[in-house]
Amino acid sequence: MIDTGSTGFMLVCAMLVLLMTPGLAFFYGGLSRRKNVVNTMVMVFGVLGIVGVMWVVCGWSFAYGGDGSLPFFGGLDQIGCLSAVNDMVAEAEGTPDAFAVLSGQGALANDPELAAGYPAIIDIVFQMAFAMITCAIITGAVAGRMKFGAVCAFVAVWVVVVYAPLAHMVWGGDGSLIGDMIGALDFAGGDVVHISSGLTGLILCLMLGRRKGFAVLSYRPHNVPFVALGAALLWFGWFGFNAGSEFAADGVAGLALLNTVAASAAGVLSWMITERITVGKCTLVGAATGLVAGLVAITPAAGFVEPWAAIVMGLIVSPIVYAAISQAKRRLGYDDALDAFGCHCVGGIVGGILTGLFCVPGLSWTEHGGLLYTGDWSLLGSQVLGILVTIAFVAIADVVLGLIIKACFKGSLRVSAEDEAAGLDVAVHGESAYPAYLGLD
Please report, for the domain that includes residue 362, its CATH number.
1.10.3430.10
Report if residue 258 sits inside a domain: yes
Instruction: Classify residue 9: in a domain, yes or no.
Output: no
> What would the pLDDT profile of 156-178 be if each residue is shown by its tens digit?
999 999 999 999 999 998 889 99
Is 236 part of any domain?
Answer: yes
**Is the residue at 302 inside a domain?**
yes
Rounded CA gap, 340 and 294, in Å? 14
Domain presence at residue 423: yes
Closest CA relative to residue 169, chosen from 437, 410, 416, 397? 397
What confidence score (pLDDT) does residue 96 get? 40
Which range among 193-207, 211-225, 373-387 shows the weakest confidence by mean pLDDT?
A: 211-225
Total domains in the chain come to 1
What CA–CA distance (Å, rounded) separates 298 from 190?
8
- 146 strand-pairing partners: 414
Q: What is the mean pLDDT of the chain?
A: 90
Q: pLDDT above 90 covers what percent of the chain?
A: 79
Query: Is 2 contained in some domain?
Result: no
Q: Does residue 437 form part of some domain?
A: no
3-state secondary structure of 414: strand
Cα separation, 102 vs 118, in Å, equals 10
Distance in angstroms (rounded) separating the CA atoms of residues 107 and 80: 25
Segment 374-381 mean pLDDT: 95
**Is the pLDDT at 103 greater than 50, yes or no?**
no
> CA 72 to CA 196: how far, in whole Å?
15
- Backbone torsions φ then ψ of 108, nearest 5 degrees: -65, -40
Instruction: Judge residue 7's burial from the number of C-beta atoms within 10 Å of its C-beta, 0-12 exposed, 13-18 middle, 19 or more buried.
Output: middle
Query: Which are the contacts of 339, defined by CB distance < 8 A and separation ≥ 6?
Result: 140, 141, 289, 324, 325, 329
- Predicted confidence at residue 93, as pLDDT, reads 59
pLDDT in the model for residue 71: 86
What is the per-residue DSSP string for 63-77?
HH-S-S--SS---ST
Q: Is 263 within 8 Å of 295 (Cβ atoms)?
A: yes
Q: Is residue 3 part of a domain?
A: no
What local confidence, expressed as pLDDT, does residue 69 receive?
A: 75
Instruction: Tell me which residue range forms the domain holding 250.
Output: 23-429
Mean pLDDT, to the nearest integer, of 225-249?
A: 97
Sign, Cα dihedral of 281, 286, 291, 297: negative
Rounded CA gap, 88 and 35, in Å?
A: 48
Rounded mean pLDDT, 8-18: 97
